[in-house]
Chains A and B, each alone.
Chain A
Amino acid sequence: MGMRIVIAKPGLDGHDRGAKVIARALRDAGHEVIYTGLRRKPSEIVRVVMDEDAVAVGLSTLSGAHNVLIPKVCQELIANDMSDIVVFAGGIIPDSDREYLHSLGVRAIFGPGTSTSSIIEFLDTISERKNSNLDVGVGQDSGWRWI
């Protein structure tokens, strides 16, 4: 059974080809994907995740503002009692920034060249971890990550 997953474009970034490819790939893998459209505020993304009762949110950013926008989404999720939501990211995120984002609870970061099958594999893994009550949410122990 598929999961409900939000694919979001935070901030001022007009490029969503990648986000749309991911959305379609996840749908073809049996997931229900809610796509937010372009230029959403972190608070709006958190609202969508809440109202749609999603399990995970994927943040696509190519603007270079990932170190501002992704932390805001993570913090607002935790502040809204949604520590169990899984956060993953994709787009243009340099290696040097990744450790910081992982430390905030981002469980996977997919760069250019990632095959859609590895994202689907990641989602299968988080689904298994959730079923076994292992930490995988944004506000839970951040030890585990997808490499």
Chain B
Amino acid sequence: MDLITKQSISLAKDGNRRELARLLSSIESGAKLQIDSSNPWVLGVTGPPGVGKSTLIGAMIEEWIDRGERVAVLAVDPSSPRSGGALLADRMRMSSADSSGSVFVRSLATRNHPGGLVPFLDPMINLLGSCGWSRIIIETVGGGQSEIRIVAFADRVMLVDGPDRGDIIQAEKAGILELADLVVINKSDLPNALNASNSIKNSFNYSDKDDEKLVLMTSALNNDGISELINHIEELEVDTKRNSLRFKERLLSAWDYLLLSNPSLSEILLDLESGKINLDEALERL
């Protein structure tokens, strides 16, 4: 690591936001920084589009600031597969994101990297932790396998749903529910929120009895239930059973990345396609 990077890290640790922002960019473009593990506190937030994740995170940030925490958010949105560009607008729903000194919001595009953002998340979280950000949130739109892998980088996972959507069933299918420590029904000011919350609680009762999950209701718009939510999150112990699932996801994504960035991958794919080798032989060569 060169001297400039070292200086830049020490400036970022002293609270220089621009250096921190630049270091995050260089991690994103593949630079390896040596930073001692900061043992960061990380919450993953996921859920279907339009349920109010960003607004809810905005409200949670306010509560955390009141309690003296410094909150950093990594807001992940997909890159367009066609142009490679991205429209990142999560921060517009977080009211103090652009003004408070106790908040740092960074929008990240998935950039169609092989293996997604996965190789960069760990160093980014570590850097934020070592710069004194005491609560780190990873936000992603839930649905597919790649989103599960992103939230798997958090030690605590919160799933957000809206009233009367039934998307939680989709989440169950995708396996996100197994990773979640708590489920929040947002927009509790709308009709049917209570029904949604009850039906989720019921469905939990029929499934794994040892895997207890909290179901809470909030209205980020009216600031209802936010303080209770933060109380519950603060009390969450990192669940060992779910944690091993998360580490499995992390390992799998690191493995994918290794596979997809193998220099002879395209050659092996060609040989597979033409029937020269079979799958076992391909694995052997990899």
Measured CB to CB, the residues of A under 8 A from B are: 2, 4, 23-24, 26-37, 40-41, 43-45, 47-48, 50-53, 80-82
B89 and A34 within 8 A (CB): yes
- Asked if A30 contacts B21 (CB within 8 A), the reply is no
- What are the interface flags for B164-196 relative to A under an 8 Å C-beta threshold, 1 for contact and 0 otherwise? 000000000000000000000000000000000
Nearest CB of A to B89, in Å: 4
Place the interface of chain B in its size category: 20 to 34
Interface hits, B111-129 → A, CB 8 Å: none
Task: Please classify the interface of chain A as helix (H, G, I), strand (E, B), loop, or mixed, using the class held by over half of its residues.
Answer: mixed
- Which of B21, B22, B25, B89 is within 8 Å of A37, CB to CB? B89
B281 at the interface (CB under 8 A from A): no
A53 close to B83 (CB less than 8 A): no
Q: Are B98 and A47 in contact (CB under 8 A)?
A: yes
- Let me know if A53 and B21 touch, CB within 8 A: yes
| Bound-complex Cα distance A37 to B91 (A) | 8
Smallest CB separation, B23 vs chain A (Å)? 9
User: Is B105 positioned at the interface, with any CB of A under 8 Å from its CB?
Assistant: yes
A47 to chain B, nearest CB (A): 5
* Chain B neighbourhood of A2, CB < 8 A: 83-85
Binary CB contact string for chain B from 248 to 281 against chain A (1 if under 8 A, 0 otherwise): 0000000000000000000000000000000000
Asked whether B17 lies within 8 Å of A51 as measured between CB atoms, the reply is yes
Whether a CB of chain A sits under 8 angstroms from the CB of B7 is no
Is B18 touching A27 in the complex (CB atoms < 8 A)? no
Which residues of A lie under 8 Å from residue B24 when comparing CB positions? 53
Measured CB to CB, the closest approach of chain A to B123, in angstroms, equals: 16
Complex CA gap A121/B99 in Å reads 33
Contact assessment for A52 and B85 in the assembled complex, using a CB-CB cutoff below 8 Å: no
Asked if B86 and A51 sit within 8 Å, CB to CB, the answer is no
| Residues of chain A within 8 A of B25, CB atoms compared | 4, 53
Given known pairs A35-B92, A51-B104, the reply for A23 and B21 (CB within 8 Å) is no
Could you write out 27 A-B pairs with CB less than 8 Å apart?
A27-B85, A27-B87, A28-B80, A29-B85, A31-B85, A32-B85, A32-B86, A32-B109, A33-B86, A34-B88, A35-B87, A35-B88, A35-B89, A36-B92, A40-B98, A41-B98, A44-B98, A44-B99, A45-B98, A47-B99, A50-B18, A51-B105, A52-B88, A53-B18, A53-B25, A81-B18, A82-B18
